[in-house]
């Protein structure tokens, strides 16, 4: 009598395997979410750093005021920094992208985070032909939709026009602003 070899899995083996795969996927999900938020934060902040550097360079090279702001449908600076951000030549200091003029650069900031801008009640940043800030100093903070300050990031703009990323100097996992205070996303 020949015995037949059994191939394949029994129903119980398949159920145990499915449960293990589900458990492992559940454990990996928070780590994956955190990695994706970290990547979005880094990408958004580096895109904005590049925008500010290019705007400052253009102001110096072309000898004109350059404005950086979100633009509404009429071409004027708006307050909603969670859409496209424009850098454009603004020789008459109108804070408006005039018809027929191409922007220097446009950056999209959509995604699973929000941007908060602080520039003494202004909704824009400007650079003089010297490269210095024409308007007030300020900062741009990216916060994840979860509100976690540990995942936040900030660009600090100095009077000299230099844009830099906020760092975590005290090692608590939360970057500090220009005054040394931990970032907040509330």
Please indicate, yes or no, if residue 65 is contained in any of the structural domains: yes
Give the pLDDT confidence of 30-57 residue by residue, as tens digits.
Answer: 766 777 777 888 889 999 999 999 999 9
Please indicate, yes or no, if residue 11 is contained in any of the structural domains: no
Give the pLDDT confidence of 108-144 residue by residue, as tens digits.
Answer: 887 778 888 887 678 899 999 999 987 667 889 999 8
Please indicate, yes or no, if residue 61 is contained in any of the structural domains: yes
Tally the domains of the chain.
1
Examine the pLDDT at 2 and tell me if it is beyond 70.
Answer: no
Please indicate, yes or no, if residue 17 is contained in any of the structural domains: no
Give the model's pLDDT for residue 128: 94
Return the minimum-mean-pLDDT range out of 57-66, 135-144, 155-164.
135-144
Please indicate, yes or no, if residue 3 is contained in any of the structural domains: no
| Cα 66 to Cα 2, 87, 97, 144, distances in angstroms | 87, 7, 11, 29
Return the minimum-mean-pLDDT range out of 109-123, 140-154, 170-184.
109-123
Share of the chain above pLDDT 90, in %: 32
Question: Closest Cα partner for 88 from 103, 100, 73, 70?
Answer: 103
Please indicate, yes or no, if residue 16 is contained in any of the structural domains: no
Mean of all residue pLDDT scores within the chain: 86
Full domain range(s) for residue 120? 34-165
Please indicate, yes or no, if residue 159 is contained in any of the structural domains: yes
Please indicate, yes or no, if residue 66 is contained in any of the structural domains: yes
At 133, which CATH number?
3.55.40.10
Give the model's pLDDT for residue 3: 66
Name 126's Cβ contacts closer than 8 Å, sequence gap at least 6. 65, 66, 67, 68, 90, 93, 95, 133, 134, 135
């Amino acid at each position: 009598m020949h015995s037949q070899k059994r191939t394949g899995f029994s129903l119980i083996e398949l159920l145990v395997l499915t449960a293990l795969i589900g458990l492992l996927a559940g454990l990996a999900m928070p780590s994956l979410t955190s990695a994706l938020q970290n990547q979005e934060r880094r990408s958004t902040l580096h895109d904005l750093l590049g925008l500010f550097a290019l705007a400052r360079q253009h102001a110096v090279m072309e000898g004109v005021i350059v404005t950086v702001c979100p633009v509404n449908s009429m071409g004027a600076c708006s307050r909603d920094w969670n859409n496209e951000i424009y850098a454009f030549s603004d020789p008459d200091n109108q804070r408006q992208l005039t018809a027929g003029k191409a922007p220097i650069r446009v950056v999209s900031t959509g995604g699973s985070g929000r941007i908060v801008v602080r520039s003494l009640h202004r909704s824009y940043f400007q650079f003089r032909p010297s490269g210095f800030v024409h308007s007030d100093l300020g900062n741009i903070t990216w916060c994840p939709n979860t509100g976690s300050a540990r995942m936040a990031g900030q660009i600090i703009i100095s009077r000299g026009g230099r844009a830099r990323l906020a760092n975590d100097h005290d090692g608590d996992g939360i970057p500090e602003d220009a005054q040394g205070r931990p970032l907040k996303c509330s």
